[in-house]
A and B are shown apart, each in its own frame.
Chain A
Amino acid sequence: MMDGQLLVTMFSGFFIVCGVVALLIGSLGLLRLPDVYCRIHAVGMIDTAGASFIILGMIIHEGFTLVSVKLVLIGVFLFFTSPIATHAVAQVAHKSGVVPVGRNLARVAGTKNVRASSETKKRVTKSVRKAKAKSRGTS
Chain B
Amino acid sequence: MMLVAIVACGVCLVIALVRTMLGPTAFDRVLAVNAIGTLIILGIALHGFIMERPEFVDIALLYAILNFIGTLAVLKLFSTGSLGDAPPSGKK
Contacts and interface: CB of A to CB of B under 8 A. Distances in A.
Interface in A29-71: 30-31, 36, 39-40, 43, 46-47, 50-51, 54-55, 57-58, 61-62, 67, 70-71
Contacts of B16: 27, 30
Nearest to B22: A114
Majority SS of interface residues in chain A?
Answer: helix
Contacts of A81: 64, 68
A92 B64 contact: no
B34 to A, nearest CB: 6
Given A26-B35, A71-B45, A74-B60, A89 B27 contact: yes
A13 B3 CA distance: 11
Contacts of B57: 67, 70-71, 74
Contacts, number: 140
A100 to B, nearest CB: 12
Contact of A46 (B23, B28, B35, B65): B35
Interface residues of A, number: 53
B32 A58 contact: no
Contacts of A30: 15-16, 19, 31-32, 35
Interface string B23-46: 111011011101100110110011
A73 interface: yes
Interface string B43-75: 001100100001001101100110010011001
A31 B4 CA distance: 21
12 contacts: A16-B4, A27-B12, A30-B15, A30-B32, A50-B38, A57-B5, A74-B57, A78-B64, A89-B31, A91-B79, A96-B79, A115-B24
6 shortest interchain CB distances as A-B pairs: A27-B12, A118-B24, A67-B54, A27-B15, A81-B68, A93-B27
